[in-house]
Structure 1
Amino acid sequence: MILATICCRGGSKGVPSKNIRPLNGIPLIGHTVLQAKASSLIQDLIISTDSEQISEVAQDFGANVPFLRPDDLATDTASKWPVFIHALEFYERLTGQSVDYLVDLDVTVPLKTAADIDKAIQLALDSPDADVVITGYEPERNPYFNMMELNVSGFAQIVKSSKKTIVRRQDAPTVYSLSPAAYVIKKSALYDFEHWSKANCLISPMPRERAIDIDTELDFRLVEFLMKTK
């Protein structure tokens, strides 16, 4: 059983009221609800939020909001891992169904498609040894080639060193920047690990242009521009 969650709080510092702000004529959360409904592999969808406003908007798009998230899971410092467990356990108690995979879809990546979501889910289903599948893209910068950090002496050095000096980006190992477009998590992993980074993870690649994560006003305007000029 594959359960999708959309987890979003009412507070947003970077972009005020971000999750319900209209984006190209549709509230931001509405884009992800519609993408989840278009998925061929997701069997059910619930919203986890502490906001009555977000709840009402999500329900306008046909999403199920079976609870309002407890205050202790809706702070700036709260990890999403216990939020996932809370949503999964509430759903199982409510429906009597046993969930096998939880698929978290972040509203801040509105250019993702149902195909991107299903690709990540299918990779998880085809990889029984994987605990988590995360969407990601090849970034503009590579830590083996053109990313640096300061050492204890204050001098800059390459982030990831290799035995052979890498002088061309094409020769650097492939790295991925994570996108919260979709996190596909095996139910057992939620209890076996304290965080997804401790689990066996796979990357489901997606195009850079669909992986833009809205965190600032500039991001919002960029995504809206891309939608209007698609």
Structure 2
Amino acid sequence: MKTIAIIPARGGSKRLPQKNIKLLDEIPLLAHSILYAKANSKIIDEVYVSTEDPEIKKVALKYGAKVIDRPENISGDLEPTVSALKHVLENIDLEVENVILLQPTNPVRPENLVQKTFEIYDKIKCNSLFTVSRDHKKLGKIIDQKFVPFNYKIGQRSQDLEPLYFENGLLYITKSKLIMENIIISEDAFPFEIDHIFANVDIDTQADFDYAKYLYYKNIKN
């Protein structure tokens, strides 16, 4: 039974056209995730890119991934990611046990992240694992034009907040059988906490991309 990486990379982004192949340090965003997966070949047996876009397909093949052509009917803005993962599994001949989801819009990850997370995933025998980061913001809701604190009391210090976490999108590991049931994060999913400079990066707009470039050259490249 194999462990594969799947990178879903559609071409129809409206707010940042062709964002998945925009260059970060002269390398397309998509390629950062491909190269990352291939560098973890002791765990990841094959790397697949799911796309409906011919330019993205060219980039994926150039950097050594296998490409599964995604049908237009599951390539829209509102289509959930699990549809692409399921389509890949339905169209390859491998017996796959585990799927590692890498999103091209989260291009930079810690070098040892796959190894650390997969060791935990395998040891505790959970059905899925995903990365989370702590959020230190004071959050609230607006109800009847009034701000109602959610995770703190007015005047409370930030360092005394009850810990809250967010799904940062850096990495997901899931049993393939769950994906066939349209599930990525299972009820027993292990939340792997990580503090990383790119945990707050999810590239969807030009401003997001500019911020990612700034962080990359300030903290990674140098």
TM-score range relative to shorter protein: 0.7 to 0.9
Distance 1:126 1:175 in 2: 26
- Equivalent position of 1:98 in the other structure: 95
Contact 1:132 1:183 (C-alpha < 8 Å) held by counterparts: yes
In the alignment, which residue of structure 2 is the partner of 1:2? 3
Q: 1:25 to 1:125 in 2, by over 3 A?
A: same
TM-score, normalised to structure 1, is 0.85
Structure-2 separation of matches of 1:78 and 1:155: 35
Matches within 5 A, 1:117-128: 117-128=114-125
Gaps (5+ residues) in structure 2?
none
1:135 aligns with 2:131: yes
| Separation (CA, whole Å) in 1 of partners of 2:121 and 2:157 | 33
Match of 1:169 among 158, 167, 170: 158
CA contact (8 A) 2:110 2:196 kept: no
Residues 11 and 73 of structure 1: CA distance in aligned 2, closer, same or farther (over 3 Å)? same
* Cross-structure match for 2:196: 208
Partner of 1:34: 35
Specify the alignment match of 2:15 in structure 1.
14
Q: Per-residue CA shift, 1:125-167, capped at 9, x if unaligned? A: 1221x222111211232xxxx111123x443212257xx9993
- Secondary structure of 1:149 counterpart: strand
Q: Is the contact made by 2:136 and 2:164 (CA closer than 8 Å) also made in structure 1?
A: no
SS of residue matched to 1:199:
coil
Q: Is residue 10–residue 54 contact of structure 1 (8 Å, CA) maintained in 2?
A: yes
CA contact (8 A) 2:102 2:170 kept: yes
Q: CA deviation at 1:18?
A: 0.6
Which amino acid in structure 2 is aligned with residue 155 of structure 1? Answer: K
Residue aligning to 1:218: 207
**Counterpart amino acid of residue 22 in structure 2:** R
The structure with the largest helix share of the pair is 1
What's the CA shift string for 1:66-119, capped at 9, x where partnerless? x3101111011111112211111212xx3xx32111111001111213412332
Mapping 1:38-49, distance limit 5 Å: 38-39=39-40, 40-49=42-51
* 1:184 shift after superposition: 0.6
- Asked if the contact 2:103–2:171 (Cα under 8 Å) also holds between the matched residues in 1, the reply is yes
Asked whether the equivalents of residues 132 and 196 of structure 1 are also in contact (C-alpha less than 8 Å), the reply is: yes
Give the aligned partner of residue 90 of structure 2: 89
Q: Which structure features the higher share of strand residues?
A: 2
**Is residue 119–residue 204 contact of structure 1 (8 Å, CA) maintained in 2?**
no
CA RMSD of aligned residues (A): 2.2
